């Protein structure tokens, strides 16, 4: 296999994960519209088209940088985030301001480290965008974890946000393993072994203990469902849900969405992880209703 064909396969795998992420994001965000609440209970689809939000926009930058550099280049990533930042895509206020200032010439290192009185953001924004990177590194979960760590610092420097991104990338890498998707406990054990001690890690160990629970609402009540938009309130439940549903995108989506909370983000994470595996692609009719990834990502390669 040539270097080019290996790189092309990485891109295709990561793009499949990005498409799953975008369906989770776009369809998940439909359930912030009150008229659609009853549909969610019955697992019925709202009318399309479904527009994606910040999760997909940022994930597209992650993939564009991997395609251009073969790894995470922090300056290129920060500038891609800033250049493609669309204020109307539902970013949080801190990241809106950060990306505007980077676009105006600010230094992302100083700006990201100064957020929240110098603690850095612990929001779920660096976890929500990173599953395609895990798919890119399907053969190397340790490298996926390392590159995800580097990627997080461009916007989210708090340890919990960094570990949240590492965990999601590790999960997507393991889900994309060539031998087919791992068992639920194998996925979470694998992720737990790759992340450092943290609240996210503690949540993942709890998630591992709750794999036999049937009611996602109970599990979300314990682990969080992203309502606080922190990494530790988002990632453990999302990976519990993904681990339970590898190979079944529809089940993964509904299980996650019905738990409520930050639904576009939890569903983006779950969609990106599940679709990283070859058996986990979203249904064709769901994909058809979902807005295509941004034009600046695709024409460069296709
Ligand atoms: Mg969003």
pLDDT of residue 34: 84
Q: How far is CA 103 from the centre of its chain?
A: 24
Which segments in the chain show pLDDT lower than 70? 1-5, 299-302
Residue 22 CA to ligand 1 centre (angstroms): 10
Residue 29 CA to ligand 1 centre (angstroms): 7
pLDDT of residue 270: 98
Residue 221 CA to ligand 1 centre (angstroms): 21
Q: What is the pTM of this model?
A: 0.96
pLDDT of residue 302: 46
Residue 52 CA to ligand 1 centre (angstroms): 7
Residue 70 CA to ligand 1 centre (angstroms): 26
Residue 179 CA to ligand 1 centre (angstroms): 32
Residue 268 CA to ligand 1 centre (angstroms): 8
Residue 136 CA to ligand 1 centre (angstroms): 22
CATH 2.60.40.10 fits 5-301, yes or no: no
Q: What is the pLDDT of residues 100-144, one digit of tens each?
A: 999 999 999 999 999 999 999 999 999 999 999 999 999 899 999
Residue 226 CA to ligand 1 centre (angstroms): 11
| Domain positions in the chain | 5-301
pLDDT of residue 179: 83
pLDDT of residue 299: 64
């Amino acid at each position: 296999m040539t270097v080019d064909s290996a790189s092309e396969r990485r891109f295709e795998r990561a793009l499949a994960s990005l498409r799953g992420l975008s369906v989770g994001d776009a369809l998940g965000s439909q359930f912030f519209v009150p008229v659609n609440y009853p549909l969610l209970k019955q697992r019925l689809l709202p009318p399309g088209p479904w527009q994606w939000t910040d999760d997909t926009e940022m994930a597209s930058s992650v993939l564009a940088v991997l395609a251009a550099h073969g790894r995470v280049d922090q300056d290129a990533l920060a500038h891609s985030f800033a250049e493609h930042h669309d204020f109307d895509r539902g970013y949080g206020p801190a990241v809106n301001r950060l990306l505007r200032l980077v676009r105006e010439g600010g230094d992302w290192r100083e700006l990201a480290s100064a957020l929240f009185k110098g603690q850095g953001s612990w929001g779920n924004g660096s976890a929500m965008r990173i599953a395609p990177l895990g798919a890119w590194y399907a053969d190397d979960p340790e490298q996926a974890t390392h590159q995800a760590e580097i990627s997080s610092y461009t916007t989210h420097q708090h340890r919990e946000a960094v570990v949240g991104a590492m965990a999601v990338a590790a999960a997507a890498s393991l889900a994309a393993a060539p031998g087919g998707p791992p068992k639920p406990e194998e996925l979470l054990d694998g992720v737990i072994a790759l992340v450092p001690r943290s609240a996210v890690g503690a949540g993942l160990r709890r998630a591992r203990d709750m794999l036999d629970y049937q009611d996602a609402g109970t599990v979300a009540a314990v682990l969080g469902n992203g309502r606080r938009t922190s990494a530790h309130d988002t990632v453990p439940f999302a990976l519990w849900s993904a681990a339970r549903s590898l190979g079944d995108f529809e089940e993964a989506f509904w299980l996650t969405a019905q738990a409520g909370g930050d639904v576009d983000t939890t569903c983006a994470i779950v969609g990106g992880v599940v679709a990283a595996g070859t058996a986990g692609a979203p249904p064709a009719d769901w994909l058809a209703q979902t807005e295509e990834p941004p034009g600046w990502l695709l024409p460069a390669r296709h």
